[in-house]
Structure 1
């Protein structure tokens, strides 16, 4: 009887999990508490057209599908009212399970290819990595 109950509970859990996953989107990957956050901030050259910017953003968004070590990817444009952005307009956060995974990402051919796409259009950039210390 206990085995039947366990099977029913597991089946309900799997159905509930599937029902809460939006169609067409992969399930969110669970990130480790000591994950590495790779933060990239861009300031684009004034001659960067909206079309070129769209191409660059699409290329960056494609990296998680090409590089298995990327466990999380977020990006957005600066909307801080504080006035300390120094012209940096776009922020990206890539999450890795470890420094080893981050280190595998850096020389990855897909990352290098992205660098060749974005490089000519960058006026300035900042990169900061940290290992999550939050409990």
Structure 2
């Protein structure tokens, strides 16, 4: 399995309602890409307060690297990605992506 982790510093003028709409679009991709296992999204509630401005994020779990690539190539994902970049502080500079293979994926 591959865990795709995305953290976003949204522009201050972007409302929580608009951010929720963007995350709804993300969840709408579920079921459309074989190997996309789950999507979790939301705002940080960390008591550590170490977000450094990355207050929103999401995690998408994929069965394997091929499923992650299918997601990257998907037109709905690309359209949503453009909206996320537009809403992030500094565009792409306001978004962190981290792909973490889990033990199951490493064993493949």
TM tier, smaller:
0.7 to 0.9
1:64 alignment partner, SS class: coil
Say whether residues 1:128 and 2:98 are aligned partners.
Answer: yes
Aligned-residue offset at 1:71: 1.1
Separation in 2, partners of 1:65, 1:116 = 21
TM-score relative to the length of structure 1: 0.67
Q: How many residues get paired?
A: 101
5 Å-filtered alignment, 1:9-88, equals: 35-88=1-54
Structure with bigger gyration radius: 1
Q: Where in structure 1 are there 5+ consecutive unaligned residues?
A: 1-34
Distance in 1 (CA, whole Å) between partners of 2:48 and 2:79 is: 34
* Matched-pair contact (CA < 8 Å) for 1:75–1:92: yes
CA deviation digits over 1:3-54, x for unaligned, max 9? Answer: xxxxxxxxxxxxxxxxxxxxxxxxxxxxxxxx10001111100110233223
Normalising to structure 2: TM-score of the pair?
0.82
Contact 1:67 1:110 in 2 (8 A): no
Greater relative contact order structure (CA < 8 Å, 6+ sep): 2
Deviation at 1:67, TM superposition (A): 2.5
Residues 1:110 and 2:98 aligned together: no
